[in-house]
Amino acid sequence: MPKERLDKMLSNLGYCSRSDVRRQLHRVKVAGQPALKSDQKADWTEISWDDEPVDPDPLWILLHKPEGVTCSHKDVGKLVFEMFPQRYLMRKPALSCVGRLDKDTTGALLLTTDGPALHRLTSPKSLVDKVYRVLLAEPPNPAHLEQIRQGGGLLEDDDKPLLPCQVEVVGERQVEMILHEGRYHQVKRMWLALGNAVEALHRVRFSRFDVKGLAEGEYRLLRQEEVSGL
Ligand code: URA
């Protein structure tokens, strides 16, 4: 683990500004010992702030996104970033959503400060699984289900054919879908193109991360070993 100056590291981790670290040094320990100077070098795993280990670097969050919250730093209404402590928002590199869920979509949302991983996971080439539970306005038609499974369909204002997609009927008006791409409003636009409408959308799983054990609005930090290889 690379060592860095405390003032640089703690300001990048969002605890206080670089110039404030000297004034706040009484709150910092390195390997259990009071910090000596703001330019002392350490790695983040050795540091505590108010006797709590500092947040991991990079930071990974799994949120059970509730309805009515927007995945944006700036918008009207409630923002996903307001659900976390202020210091997460002061991080450098900044905390970002790994792709977006619509304001009315609930379920598994990852956020990270790991720029390269964010780029990999949100690239059009990423084939990461996204599993959705979809409530439709009308019962799904078997021919439409087959079209979705085969892929090749077009969305409005999009000239790239859709990839094949797994879809299973799980209720009279409910289906579960596994997508490997992440286009804008993709699930809603897929059903709209077939003359049906999505009434409610929940992401059950993103990659290997599901929201079992997290109530809507709850989140947990992911451990480094959970995110390895992403
Ligand atoms: N597809 C949508 O239409 N909306 C989402 O929020 C996610 C996938």
CATH number of 60-123+209-227: 3.30.70.580
When pLDDT is cut at 50, 70 and 90, the band that residue 124 belongs to is: confident
Ligand 1 pocket residue status of 186, Cβ below 6 Å: yes
Annotated catalytic sites, by residue?
A: 102
Query: How much distance in Å is there from the Cα of 107 to the middle of ligand 1?
Result: 11
**pLDDT greater than 90 at residue 74:** no
Ligand 1 pocket residue status of 108, Cβ below 6 Å: no
DSSP-assigned states of every residue in 205-219: EETTEE-TT--TT-E
The per-residue pLDDT for range 166-181, each reduced to its tens digit, is 999 999 999 999 999 9
Average of pLDDT values for 11-34?
A: 97
Q: What are the boundaries of each domain within the chain?
A: 60-123+209-227, 129-206
Q: In this predicted structure, what is the pLDDT of residue 134? A: 98
- Report, at the CATH architecture level, how domain 129-206 is classified: 2-Layer Sandwich (3.30)
Q: Which atom of ligand 1 is nearest to the CA of 102?
A: 6
Q: Which atom of ligand 1 is nearest to the CA of 185?
A: 3
Domain 60-123+209-227 and domain 129-206, same fold? Reply is yes
Ligand 1 pocket residue status of 106, Cβ below 6 Å: no
Ligand 1 pocket residue status of 190, Cβ below 6 Å: no
Question: Which of 186, 194, 205, 206 to mutate to test ligand 1, by most ligand atoms within 8 A of the CB atom?
Answer: 186
Average of pLDDT values for 19-47?
A: 97
Give the dihedral of Cα atoms 27, 32, 37, 43; nearest 10 deg.
-100
Segments of 27-183 assigned E as strands: 28-30, 33-34, 41-42, 47-49, 52-53, 60-65, 96-97, 106-112, 130-136, 166-171, 174-179
Ligand 1 pocket residue status of 101, Cβ below 6 Å: yes
